[in-house]
């Protein structure tokens, strides 16, 4: 039996009869079965693509058998680092390289999988007819104040000359080329997704895995809380911290600033400057994920104090890399009621001050240590 000949014959039959072309005008039960478009980089499709497409295609076929008019498009996510890197590597212009890669992906790989793609409606993100809508959408966001520029610390791969997402940094190295990733201040574009945090954090519409919800929460950020001003001793500028637990304010025994906080240099007193500078250099190059999940919370004392806004007690100001350079980039340390603050306080012998009745406390409390 000549499998290759049989497959080729049926592929041609399907194509000629436009089997997978959906008629939107007459469809009574339309169903949109979308899967992620691949990057048409030089490497071609790999088995991971087939792994995801096979499952989604099977689902599309089930829907078709249930009487739905299934629209299952396929296209190419052709802009970006994958295409750019490949073009540099083989020293050819992307304008000729991308169409050639797309032809190979489509004709030699994707169509041979036998998935029910409607090739009459395909796109590449590099088509001007497509990206004019991306640009249109961006302009709408910009006009609505939802797209803005700001300086922010990013993961930077010196080899690829590009910014990496936290997920692309593995043990401090670039996932693509294994180069040591550095932290860099860069002016860049942001979308103000926090304006929609309440709605984005509502997962009641579907069933999602708990680890997926946790990741979404970390990305979207916490939306509810309070900003509290602490007066820095011998300085005029206040230090504003963000807390989701303003009810634990009385339990504050230290303040912690992200190493990237703009006030770090100004608050640090002379005798502590060398230690703080050394700490910051190391901390800034640690990937954010590692900074937040590491069991050993690290930090350095700035030598400065702030006044508790109610009790007027002197609260030491620390620099700690588990505080990330987002939002206020500063927190009030309440070790009796926060797990991370607790770990930090234990390591640096900072006092614990329980202020919520033990029945509500999240941690077993210990007597103040210092
Ligand atoms: Zn790299």
Reduced to 3 states (helix: H, G, I; strand: E, B; else coil), residue 30 is strand
The model's pLDDT over 270-319, given as tens digits with 9 standing for 90+, comes to: 999 999 999 998 888 787 777 877 677 899 999 999 999 888 999 999 99
Same domain (yes/no): 231, 192: no
Q: Over the chain, what is the mean pLDDT?
A: 86
Among residues 184, 214, 244, the one where a domain terminates is 214
Residue 80 Cα to ligand 1 middle (Å): 14
Same domain (yes/no): 50, 156: no
Per the structure, how many domains does the chain have? 3
Of 326, 345, 320, residue with least CA distance to 335: 345
Among residues 92, 126, 160, the one where a domain terminates is 126
Task: State the average pLDDT over residues 9-34.
Answer: 90
Contacts of 362 (CB under 8 A, 6+ apart): 337, 338, 339
Q: How far apart are CA 126 and CA 117, in angstroms?
A: 20
Residue 280 Cα to ligand 1 middle (Å): 23
Residue 144 Cα to ligand 1 middle (Å): 35
Q: What is the pLDDT of residue 357?
A: 57
Residue 215 has pLDDT above 50, yes or no: yes
Same domain (yes/no): 302, 339: yes
Task: State the average pLDDT over residues 36-51.
Answer: 86
Q: Angle CA(234)–CA(238)–CA(240) in degrees, nearest 5?
A: 140
For residues 252 and 42, the model is more confident at: 252
Residue 44 Cα to ligand 1 middle (Å): 20
Q: What is the pLDDT of residue 222?
A: 56
Task: State the average pLDDT over residues 72-85.
Answer: 86
Band (243; pLDDT cuts 50, 70, 90):
confident
Same domain (yes/no): 340, 250: yes
CA-CA-CA-CA dihedral for 203, 204, 208, 212, to nearest 10: 20
Beta bridge partners of 169: 174
Residue 360 has pLDDT above 50, yes or no: no
Same domain (yes/no): 121, 12: yes
The domain that holds 68 is classified in CATH as 3.40.50.620
Residue 83 Cα to ligand 1 middle (Å): 14
Q: How far apart are CA 117 and CA 60, in angstroms?
A: 10
Band (80; pLDDT cuts 50, 70, 90):
confident
Reduced to 3 states (helix: H, G, I; strand: E, B; else coil), residue 67 is coil
The model's pLDDT over 306-358, given as tens digits with 9 standing for 90+, comes to: 999 888 999 999 999 999 887 788 999 999 888 889 989 999 999 888 776 54
Beta sheet of 314-320, edge-to-edge order: 238-243, 226-232, 299-307, 314-320, 254-257, 330-333
Residue 163 Cα to ligand 1 middle (Å): 9
Residue 161 Cα to ligand 1 middle (Å): 7
Q: What is the pLDDT of residue 171?
A: 80
Residue 99 Cα to ligand 1 middle (Å): 25
Reduced DSSP (H G I as helix, E B as strand, rest coil) percent helix, strand, coil of the chain, to 5? 40, 20, 40
Residue 52 has pLDDT above 70, yes or no: yes
What b/e string do you get for 267-305 counting C-beta neighbours within 10 Å, with b at 16 or more? bbeeebeeebeebbeebbbbbbeebbeeeebbbbbbbbb
**pLDDT over 90 percentage in the chain:** 39
The residue to which tokens 């436009």 are assigned? 18
Same domain (yes/no): 150, 193: yes
On whether residue 369 sits in a domain, the answer given is no
Residue 327 Cα to ligand 1 middle (Å): 28
- Answer for the pair 296, 313: CB distance below 8 angstroms, yes or no: no
Residue 168 Cα to ligand 1 middle (Å): 9
Residue 178 Cα to ligand 1 middle (Å): 6
């Amino acid at each position: 039996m000549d499998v290759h000949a049989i497959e080729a014959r049926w592929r041609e039959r399907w194509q000629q009869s436009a089997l997978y072309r959906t008629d939107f005008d007459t469809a009574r039960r339309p169903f949109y079965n979308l899967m992620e478009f691949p990057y048409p980089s030089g490497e071609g499709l790999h088995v991971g693509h087939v792994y995801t497409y096979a499952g989604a295609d099977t689902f599309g076929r089930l829907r078709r058998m249930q009487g739905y008019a299934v629209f299952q498009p396929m296209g190419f996510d052709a802009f970006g680092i994958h295409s750019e890197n490949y073009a540099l590597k083989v020293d050819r212009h992307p304008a000729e390289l991308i169409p050639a890669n797309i032809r190979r992906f489509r004709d030699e790989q994707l169509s041979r999988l036998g998935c029910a793609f409607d090739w009459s409606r395909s796109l590449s993100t590099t088509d001007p007819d497509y990206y004019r809508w991306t640009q249109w959408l961006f302009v709408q966001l910009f006009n609505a104040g939802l797209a803005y520029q700001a300086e922010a610390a990013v993961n930077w791969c010196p080899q690829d000359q590009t910014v990496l997402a936290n997920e692309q940094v593995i043990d401090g190295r670039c996932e693509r080329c294994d180069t040591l990733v550095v932290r860099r201040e860069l002016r860049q574009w942001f979308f103000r997704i926090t304006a929609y945090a309440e709605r984005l954090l509502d997962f009641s519409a579907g069933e999602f895995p708990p680890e997926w919800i946790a990741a979404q929460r970390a990305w979207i950020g916490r939306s509810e809380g309070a900003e509290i001003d602490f007066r820095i001793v011998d300085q005029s500028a206040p230090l504003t911290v963000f807390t989701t637990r303003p009810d634990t304010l009385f339990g504050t025994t230290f303040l912690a600033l992200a190493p990237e906080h703009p006030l770090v240099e100004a608050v640090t007193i002379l005798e502590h400057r060398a230690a703080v500078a050394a700490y910051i250099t190391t901390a800034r190059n640690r990937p954010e994920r590692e900074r937040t999940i590491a069991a050993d919370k690290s930090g350095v004392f700035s030598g400065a104090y702030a006044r508790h806004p109610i009790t007027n007690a002197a609260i030491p100001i620390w620099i700690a890399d588990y505080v990330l350079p987002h939002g206020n980039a500063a927190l009030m340390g309440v070790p009796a009621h926060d797990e991370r603050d607790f770990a930090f306080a234990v390591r640096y012998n900072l006092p614990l001050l329980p202020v919520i009745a033990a029945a509500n406390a999240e941690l077993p409390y210990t007597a103040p240590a210092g």
